[in-house]
Structure formats: C-alpha cells, structure tokens
Amino acid sequence: MFLERPRSVILYSDLNLITNIQNDSITFRKHHFNVVANEIRNLLTELRKGYPLMDITVEYLDKERKRSNIFYKASHKAARRVIGK
C-alpha cells in the first residue's frame, strides 16, 4: 500500500501580519524585524523551489483555531521556553 503525496500544505502562523510579510507589503521601523521578515520570505521561496509540485501556503491561525489546537499549544510553550519566559 502506497500513500499519495499531498498536493498542498498549509503552514499556520500566529503572526497576524504574515500575509503582508509574504507579499512584501510591509516595512517595519525596527531593522531586525525587517531582517526576520526577509528571512521568512527567503525560506518560503526555498521551500517552494524544493517542492515545485506542491502548493505551499502560509495562513494566519486565528483565535478559534488556536483554542483547541494541541500542536499550537505545544509549539507556543516551546517557543516561550526558548526565549526564557
């Protein structure tokens, strides 16, 4: 039995500006935010080049989806541990 490869992947972000960052339609006052935004765009470009047959999108994870999502809760806790909170 073989599994079919997915045709699309949706990556969720809890950053409400993620759409603007992807479209390069936002500039931040603080330089390091712009550096991170460029890095996000570059990583998405590389990911899409690496999987050209797959539709890869990034969408905002709204409050309703956050509420009961165990993956969000786990990644949120891990991220807070990394930054020391």
Q: What contacts 61, CB < 8 A, 6 or more positions away?
A: 12, 13, 14, 69, 72
Return the structure tokens found at 72: 């969000």
Separation between Cα atoms, residue 18 and residue 58, nearest integer Å: 7
Contact 20, 67 (CB under 8 A): no
**Residue 26 has which token pair?**
């936002």
The confidence score (pLDDT) of residue 72 equals 87
pLDDT recorded at residue 39 = 94
**Cβ atoms of 7 and 57 closer than 8 Å:** no
pLDDT of residue 2: 75
What is the mean pLDDT, run by run of 10 residues, along the chain of 85 residues?
A: 85 89 87 92 95 93 86 88 88
